[in-house]
Amino acid sequence: MGHTALSLVQLGAMFFALGALGRLAGRVGLSPIPLYLLGGLAFGQGGLVPLGDIGGFTELASEIGVVLLLLTLGLEYSASELFTGLRRSWMAGLLDIFLNAAPGIVVALLLGWGVVGAFVMGGITYISSSGIIAKVLGDLGRLGNRETPVVLSILVFEDLVMALYLPILTGVLGGISFLGGLRAVGISLSVVTVVLVVALKYGRYVSAIVDSEDREVFLLKVFGAALLVAGFASAMQVSAAVGAFLLGIAISGSTAENATKVLEPLRDLFAAVFFVVFGLNTDPRQIPPVLVWAVVLAVTTTLTKLATGWWAARKAGIGKLGRARAGAALIARGEFSIIIAGFAVAAGVVDGVIAALATTYVLLMAIIGPIAARVVEPVVRAAQRRRSASSAAPAG
């Protein structure tokens, strides 16, 4: 079989398998991310059936997947919503950073990965998965709950932190000097500030540039603009993913809603490839040595996210059941954690085992998060009934 024919067969088999895995995930009520990662592990180095040389396509497709993930995330927010969310959630956001980045930093230092490894692992354990959380809240019918704005405001704060963290991470992984790092941070802050101001004051003009009544033309313009902005952002030492996120913020109103609908199939396709490629680049033989650490991180950061959501919801005057739901909703980790680990692995300046730890950790958290969100309400209600029954029982 010729090279082109073999590549087409392998790609076709991969996409068909992804579809089957996605359907299986939907039936059991989980995010498909863990199954995509497992699929990558099965067909990567050290896996059951290693794939041939289709790396050229999959690597580029995975980069496009990151861009589209962040673009569609940015489309969910307007600049004014970001500023409002920041004002409302900054205290909870700072607590979130402290509680959830610390476990990753500590484990990285204990494993001897140094300051760079600690910076990477802190980001991996800190950031929740907006995609998984949004899907779970929708599936459970909780979008109108009182605690949901609290959850969303924390996610907005996390997204803003990522807009600054990712460019700094890129500079750190690139081994730039201290002055170079300050320059990268300065450029990042300047670009983010300018884009947010433009989005706030002139977002309608950005929307008008990419808008079109023709669906095909609209798709081409939005997709092309995303790749252009991502490329220029990367050239300016600002993460390509952050550039796409900021473009999404700049597009507002009905244009943003239409762009989300048009881009969803492309995003799902290329995002699936991204998770598979990360799994392909992770040697499953490296997972057993870090499994205990992954479990430790999973247990610890489940508790710290619960504490974050509980505290933020209590501060907003929400009852105990709502506080528990808010905390459980924040548990899931997913796309951002893998993106951070992917940057670190691609740079080659941290221990390759970090990919195995990140994969195992995200697998656990992407499973624990949706389950916790589903079971927390009946568990809390049962506890409340037991307390009510015990307080109503006559003293003997």
* CATH code, domain with 139: 1.20.1530.20
Give the number of domains in the chain.
1
| Residue 37 maps to a domain | yes
| Residue 394 maps to a domain | no
| Residue 395 maps to a domain | no
| Residue 393 maps to a domain | no
Write down the pTM of the prediction.
0.73
76: Cβ–Cβ under 8 A, 6 or more apart, which residues? Answer: 130, 134, 248, 256, 260
Buried b / exposed e across 37-72, counting CB within 10 Å, b at 16+?
Answer: bbbbbbbbeebeeebeebeeebeebbbbbbbbbbbb
Give yes or no for residue 352 having a pLDDT over 90. Answer: no
Q: What is the pLDDT of residues 275-315, one digit of tens each?
A: 787 777 777 777 888 899 999 999 999 999 999 999 999 98
Round to whole Å and give the CA distance between 303 and 237. 35
Please name the residue that has the structure tokens 């041939």.
52
Q: What is the pLDDT of residues 50-99, one digit of tens each?
A: 565 565 677 788 788 878 877 887 787 676 766 666 677 788 989 999 99
177: Cβ–Cβ under 8 A, 6 or more apart, which residues? Answer: none
Burial classification of residue 213, based on how many CB atoms lie within 10 Å of its CB (0-12 exposed, 13-18 middle, 19 or more buried): exposed
Which residue range forms the structural domain that includes residue 140? 3-385
| Residue 391 maps to a domain | no
Q: Please tell me the least confidently modeled range out of 81-95, 103-117, 186-200, 331-345.
A: 186-200
| Residue 291 maps to a domain | yes
| Residue 390 maps to a domain | no
| Residue 396 maps to a domain | no
Interval 161-170 mean pLDDT: 77
Give 14's pLDDT tier (boundaries 50, 70, 90): confident
Q: What is the DSSP string of 327-382?
A: HHHT----HHHHHHHHHHHHHT-S-THHHHHHHHHHHHHHHHHHHHHHHHHHHHHH
